[in-house]
């Protein structure tokens, strides 16, 4: 029997009432295993109302007590990590190791949020004028919301709600309708950790749910991770309705390989960065810029057999290195990009199309794909493919490679592989991207730093998690005080001596 998933409102699982449902598929088999309700505007309003009602008491809760909930939540996440990873892999398709890895990165943000009493400390200046002091405090916003993508159904929500909740806000989460089960489980565990009802709510849905979040006056801020087209819409509509918005969007991440790089390490890095999680990551490396013909030839020579030997299998296979992509539509879109690369003149070195696994013929499997001689006018260079496709671009010199990265419309992440410290320093200084790796292929910062891109990879003024997350989910208030006593020295002495009693 097909499982019926639910929303989570006011401390409990709540069945959908809109009458609209969407199938949730296992990408390895192509079969629907559950149905998720798509919330109406009225259901989203109910979740927001629950969060609004819970806000005053939660905001007044001491930060140390809010942190205590996060400490307990962290314990529960570790205790249930195998269960959660299974839910992720069943609906997303990624390997169990990948699923556990994403959960681990989410737990890092929970651990960061456990330090909220320290993170909310303000500043104090004594005697800014005669008998006048000034101090600053950070206070919560109210009801805030998160809209999260399919590719990291546990990590990305945990980039948002642990920091938001620890800062004293209440939260409404709309996860991807493609793989919501693991996200729903996170919210259940939060309540097992002692979170009061109404502080965290979850509604599944599509555009109707998103538009209610964006227009509802009780929502003060919106966090989003997803495609650039949707992110720009969310940023524009949210700002139009007076909300804070951070929208982390598309990417086309380049890895520049200089002739002096350790080629074996560069190739190993590309294998993980391009094909891990089937390339369905906003920090995936999808373009390798090889400086010099010899560098490019070596990369192609070393990459080709590794890609051909890549073990593509369902997550239930313990030897799987890459699983299927998330939906049939995604598979067809990626295959279309591969064909466009061929049609536009790139050299197809390894073709991942046509892969069929015995017993999983209806699954959404693709093999790793490698292109050589990619040029900057091709669609496979310009667009975010979001699949296991790597293109090698040949650059005649370092400056040409740097200019390619800077000229692209996206500026999420980038990397350089080299032994030359001067080249690495120049690259990190001049490159137009928000996150940079030096001999690190996917430079995702740890949780106490912040994640965010430049150019059309980010709309809004704040990156996510770390101190930028604390700033996004709080308002700064400056307080200036004066306590004029009017007392003379003798009167003050008598007051201290108790002679006025």
Q: Which conformational region is residue 277 in: left (phi greater than 0), alpha (psi within -120 to 50 degrees), or beta? A: left
C-alpha pair distances (Å), 180 with each of 5, 10, 104, 186: 8, 18, 18, 10
- Is there a catalytic annotation at residue 282? yes
On whether residue 486 sits in a domain, the answer given is no
H helix or E strand, kind and range, residue 113: helix 96-113
Tens digit of each residue's pLDDT (9 = 90 or more) over 30-89 = 999 999 999 999 999 999 999 999 999 999 999 999 999 999 999 999 999 999 999 999
pLDDT digits 0-9 by tens, 143-166: 999 999 999 999 999 999 999 999
Claim to verify: residue 167 and residue 283 sit in the same structural domain: no
Q: What are phi and psi of 267, to 5 degrees?
A: -65, -45
Residues 229 and 97 in one domain: yes
Is 262 contained in some domain? Answer: yes
Q: Is 96 part of a structural domain of the chain? A: yes
Taking the alpha carbons of 176, 182, 184, 186 in that order, is the dihedral positive or negative?
negative
Judge whether 488 lies within some domain: no
Query: pLDDT band for position 2 (50/70/90)?
Result: confident
Residue 499 has pLDDT above 90, yes or no: no
Point out the catalytic residue in the list 114, 167, 249, 282.
282
Helix boundaries (H) for 348-431: 379-382, 398-407, 421-430
295 in the same domain as 233: no
Q: Tell me if 266 is assigned to some domain.
A: yes
Count of the separate structural domains present in the chain: 2
Q: Taking residues 419-429, what's their average pLDDT?
A: 98
- 430 pLDDT more than 90: yes
Question: What pLDDT, in 10s, does the model give residues 169-228?
Answer: 999 999 999 999 999 999 999 999 999 999 999 999 999 999 999 999 999 999 999 999
Closest to 446 (Cα-Cα) out of 115, 119, 109, 116: 109
Do 257 and 124 reside in the same domain of the chain?
no
Q: Are residues 164 and 222 in the same domain?
A: yes
In a domain, 79, yes or no: yes
**What's the pLDDT tens digit per position in 97-108?**
999 999 999 999
Report how far residue 172's alpha carbon sits from residue 67's, in angstroms, rounded to the nearest whole number: 19
**Cα separation, 416 vs 464, whole angstroms:** 24
Q: What is the CATH number of the domain that holds 361?
A: 3.40.309.10
Please answer whether residues 473 and 141 qualify as being in contact, where contact means their C-beta atoms are separated by less than 8 angstroms.
yes
Say yes or no: 114 and 233 in one domain: yes
- Cβ-contact 105, 159 below 8 angstroms: no
Domain shared by 163 and 68, yes or no: yes
Whether 181 and 91 share a structural domain: yes
Indicate if 356 and 470 belong to the same structural domain: no
Residues 226, 261: one domain? no
Average pLDDT taken over every residue of the chain: 95
Write the CATH number for 188. Answer: 3.40.605.10
156, 19: one domain? yes
Two structure tokens written together for 129: 């004028």
What average pLDDT does the segment 448-467 reach? Answer: 95
Whether the predicted model's global pTM rises above the 0.85 cut: yes
Which residue, 204, 221, 214, is CA-closest to 168?
Answer: 221
> Domain residues for 461?
3-249+457-480
pLDDT single digits (tens) 354-389: 999 999 999 999 999 999 999 999 999 999 999 999
**What confidence tens digit (pLDDT) does each residue in 291-344 have?**
999 999 999 999 999 999 999 999 999 999 999 999 999 999 999 999 999 999
Q: Assess whether 19 and 92 both reside in one domain.
A: yes
């Amino acid at each position: 029997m097909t499982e019926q998933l639910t929303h989570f409102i006011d401390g409990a699982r709540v069945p959908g009432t809109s009458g609209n449902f969407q199938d949730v598929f296992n990408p390895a088999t192509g079969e629907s295993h559950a149905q998720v309700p798509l919330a109406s505007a009225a259901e989203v309003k109910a979740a927001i109302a629950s969060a609004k009602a819970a806000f005053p008491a939660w905001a007044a809760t001491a930060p140390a007590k809010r942190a205590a909930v996060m400490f307990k939540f962290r314990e529960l996440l570790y205790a249930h990590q195998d269960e959660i990873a299974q839910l992720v892999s069943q609906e997303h398709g990624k390997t169990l190791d990948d699923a556990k890895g994403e959960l681990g990165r989410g737990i890092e943000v929970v651990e960061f949020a456990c330090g909220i009493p320290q993170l909310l400390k303000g500043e104090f200046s004594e005697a800014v004028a005669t008998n006048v002091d000034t101090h600053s405090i950070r206070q919560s916003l109210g009801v805030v919301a998160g809209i999260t993508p399919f590719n990291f159904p546990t990590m990305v929500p945990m980039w948002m709600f642990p920091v938001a909740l620890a800062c004293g806000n209440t939260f409404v989460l709309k996860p991807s309708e493609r793989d919501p089960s693991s996200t729903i489980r996170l919210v259940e565990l939060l309540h097992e950790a002692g979170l009061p009802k109404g502080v965290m709510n979850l509604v599944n849905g599509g555009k109707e749910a998103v538009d209610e979040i964006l227009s509802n006056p009780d929502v003060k801020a919106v966090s989003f991770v997803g495609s650039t087209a949707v992110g720009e819409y969310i940023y524009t509509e949210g700002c139009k309705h007076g909300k804070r918005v951070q929208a982390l969007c598309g990417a086309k991440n380049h890895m520049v390989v200089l002739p002096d790089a350790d080629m074996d390490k560069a190739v190993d890095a590309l294998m993980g960065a391009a094909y891990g999680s089937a390339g369905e990551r906003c920090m995936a490396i999808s373009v390798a810029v090889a400086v010099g013909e010899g560098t490019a030839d070596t990369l192609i020579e070393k990459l080709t057999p590794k890609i051909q030997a890549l073990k593509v299998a369902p997550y239930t296979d313990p030897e799987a290195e890459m699983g299927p992509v998330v939906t049939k539509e995604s598979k067809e879109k990626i295959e279309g990009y591969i064909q466009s690369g061929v049609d536009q003149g790139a050299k197809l070195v390894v073709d991942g199309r046509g892969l069929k696994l015995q017993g999983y013929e209806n699954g959404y499997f693709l093999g790793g794909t490698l292109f050589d001689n990619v040029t900057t006018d091709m669609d496979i260079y310009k667009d975010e493919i979001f699949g296991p496709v790597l293109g090698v671009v040949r650059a005649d010199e370092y400056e040409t490679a740097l200019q390619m990265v800077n000229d692209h419309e996206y500026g999420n992440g980038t990397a350089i592989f080299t032994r030359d410290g001067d080249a690495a320093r120049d690259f990190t200084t001049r490159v137009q991207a928000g996150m940079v790796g030096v001999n690190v292929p996917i430079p995702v910062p740890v949780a106490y730093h912040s994640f965010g891109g430049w150019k059309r990879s980010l709309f809004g003024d704040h990156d996510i998690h770390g101190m930028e997350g604390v700033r996004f989910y709080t308002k700064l208030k400056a307080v200036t005080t004066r306590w004029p006593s009017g007392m003379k020295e003798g009167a003050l002495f008598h007051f201290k001596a108790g002679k006025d009693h």
